[in-house]
Structure 1
Amino acid sequence: MVQGFKPEFFGTANAFFLPQTLFTLVFVAILAAVGGYGTRYLALVSGLVAALFGALVGTAVPLLVAGQTLDGEVIAYLVGTLVGINLVFVLAVILASATVGRRVYAGVVFGAPDARGALAERRVAIIRRPAATLADGHVTHIEKSPIDLDLADEQWESYVNVLEKAGWTTIEVDQADDLADSVFVEDAVIIFGDVAMITSPGSEHRIAETEAVEVTVRELGLQVAHIVSPGTLDGGDVLKVGRTVYVGRSGRTNAEGIHQLRHIVSALGYTVVAVPLTKVLHLKSAVTALPDGTVIGYLPLVDDPKIFDRFLSMPEEGGAHVVKLSDDTVLMAASAPESAQLIENLGYRVISVDISEYEKLEGCVTCLSVRVR
């Protein structure tokens, strides 16, 4: 006769699952230490691996301590528990790894942002691995060129290595092979201190990119704001210089998107300056800024340089794009050696990286990461 579950059974159940839990935590810690929780898919795999090994080892150890021999009969019993008494345990660990585990991992690695800008001080860079369909990415102001996917992967790895060697901790948004342009993660989110503004991409092909990005910034503990339809706004159209936010009125960012941006960030102490844009895809395709706030750009692509308080013309198109790594160091594309020398002569250290395959898709060094700062 089947009996109902009685309170006195809790002790037996706890005693049975305690070893599994302890060993699973050990395996989780090992996998987390090697980056096993860097993305949601990795977290699922890590949860499965940790749960299986934890359940098997945790069940086997008490048997061996009790004098059992690890023979065929015992092994068959251990495997059988995975579809029996240990099955719920395994499923629970997998679910927890993909949800709570990711949040705990982010909290341990990056720390909880307990004050405005605290997370930024940890120098976090959000990145997204290029899609297998990268070659299908869209271009608007240049002719489409063939993309070498292997070279693109190598260049992305080199770019990430530069960030990490410069002291930035990188966190990956889940890869999306069905979203060709998703490697250009900058367009999906803009960071203002501890507020992450999820954009409203101006291309219908890119709207789905924001979903996984929002998951990532929430896991980092950032507050979230949204640009919503009918407003459109791409992150590549937004350039922050101190408390001034320049936003390009481009083919991807409309007046309603700028209006919503102004409403949200004015409450955070920023001033929004709209910039007419007709010659390039995004504002930061034409201009970026040095750490001292000087706006630099390639003059043939800039509609009106007088909009900016300080403007310095660069001799090459790729020279218009810099990523601030620190107060005295910037990252630039290898395609602009003359511009790099000019900036070095201003007292900055320049680190160059080859991103030729991304430049074929109207990308630049700013597009491939979002710095939490």
Structure 2
Amino acid sequence: MSVGMNELKLNEVGRLKRVALRRPEQAMLSQAKIDAEWKPLNYHTRPDFEVAIAEHKRLVEIIQGVGAEVIYLPAQESLTMDSLYVRDAATLCAKGVILCNMGKPARAAEPGVHGEHFRKAGIPVAGAITGEGKVEGGDIIWLDQRHVGIARGYRTNAEGIRQFKEIVGPDVHVEVAVLPHYKGPFDVFHLMSIISPLDEKLQLVYSPLMPVTFREWLLDHGHQLVEVPEEEFASMGCNVLAIAPREVVMVKGNPETQRRMEAAGCKVHVIDADAISVPGEGGPTCLTRPLIRA
């Protein structure tokens, strides 16, 4: 089914209409593959394959509950189980999908697999980050049609940002957020580790790790911030997926963050994610690549 680009609204909070995921069956494949890969890929713990299947199925049910069409990305021999986190291999612009160029070398094959599948599904591919440029999708947040935030960190570099700006064009303001060193180059740390949009001009943030200039830029543009408490940052309290305005999915174990979002008027779905999120630090945003929002 071809997608008319007049349908594409560039934000992170509209009601999901079309979204890409990859099932554990196509990413992890088997318990044997998990056992071989989880340590080399720097996972904290060993995921359980059968538990991952059940947890992922529940996430999909919640997403489909708002009327979204789910596209399942395929398995491919060159992919690791990191390919479960589909957000990072592609991002969007007004002209279609932008294929990323992964900062984590083990994930280098993912954008090409995504691009081939998107083209077959009739989804336009507007361009790709190539050469020395590195960009991962978790470092990009569309705030509205004309404003996008992108991180400069260990997964997205200056050349990648230059190429991204060239693809999106001069009519889009690209606000660069320079990330702190935090745990270093081998950690999973993206812009979306510290900010998740909840609604237009409403952001869930972990301020202690936010770049000062980016935080000030949000406030100067009228954004309100819901703060994640320090004790819930490591448990992915800030990794929250909006499936509709002020309707979100979060990982269990973050009750105070949940309470604060509910106080801001959000409906919150809490998922078990001991196999699909906790071991690889990939929450609901990481597990999904939204393609069309209302």
Task: Please list the CA deviations of residues 288-333 of structure 1 after superposition, one character each: whole Å capped at 9, or x if unmatched.
Answer: 1111232222234334333433333112222212212112311212
Query: Does the CA-based 8 Å contact 1:193-1:372 persist in structure 2?
Result: no
Measure, in 2, the Cα distance between the counterparts of 1:307 and 1:300: 16
Q: 1:176 aligns with which of 72, 76, 94?
A: 76
Report the TM-score when normalising by structure 2.
Answer: 0.80
Q: Paired residue for 2:59?
A: 159
Q: 1:302 aligns with which of 198, 207, 210?
A: 210
Query: Does the CA-based 8 Å contact 1:227-1:233 persist in structure 2?
Result: yes
Q: 1:189 aligns with which of 76, 87, 90?
A: 90
Report the TM-score when normalising by structure 1.
Answer: 0.64
Query: Does the CA-based 8 Å contact 1:244-1:272 persist in structure 2?
Result: yes
Matched, 1:360 2:268: no
Q: 1:202 aligns with which of 61, 83, 103?
A: 103
Q: Percent identity over the alignment?
A: 25
Q: Paired residue for 2:164?
A: 261
Structure number with higher strand proportion: 2
Matched, 1:234 2:136: yes
Task: Please list the CA deviations of residues 53-77 of structure 1 after superposition, one character each: whole Å capped at 9, or x if unmatched.
Answer: xxxxxxxxxxxxxxxxxxxxxxxxx
Measure, in 2, the Cα distance between the counterparts of 1:155 and 1:122: 20
Q: Return closer, same or farther for 1:143/1:122 CA change in 2, 3 Å cut-off.
A: closer
Structure number with higher helix proportion: 1
- What is the aligned length? 261
Task: Please list the CA deviations of residues 107-143 of structure 1 after superposition, one character each: whole Å capped at 9, or x if unmatched.
Answer: 2xxxx33452269988011011222334524789x87
Q: Paired residue for 1:214?
A: 115
Measure, in 2, the Cα distance between the counterparts of 1:143 and 1:163: 26
Q: Return closer, same or farther for 1:158/1:295 CA change in 2, 3 Å cut-off.
A: same
Measure, in 1, the Cα distance between the counterparts of 2:43 and 2:3: 44
Measure, in 2, the Cα distance between the counterparts of 1:210 and 1:204: 12
Measure, in 2, the Cα distance between the counterparts of 1:201 and 1:372: 19
Unaligned runs of 5+ in 2: 183-187
Measure, in 2, the Cα distance between the counterparts of 1:368 and 1:255: 25
The structure whose RCO (Cα within 8 Å, separation 6+) is larger is 2
RMSD: 2.4
- Residue 169 of structure 1: CA displacement? 0.8
Q: 2:199 aligns with which of 291, 300, 319?
A: 291
Whichever of the two has the greater Rg, that structure is 1
Measure, in 1, the Cα distance between the counterparts of 2:178 and 2:8: 34
Task: Please list the CA deviations of residues 228-286 of structure 1 after superposition, one character each: whole Å capped at 9, or x if unmatched.
Answer: 1110101111111113211111111110001111111134x421111111225211112
Q: Paired residue for 1:5?
A: none
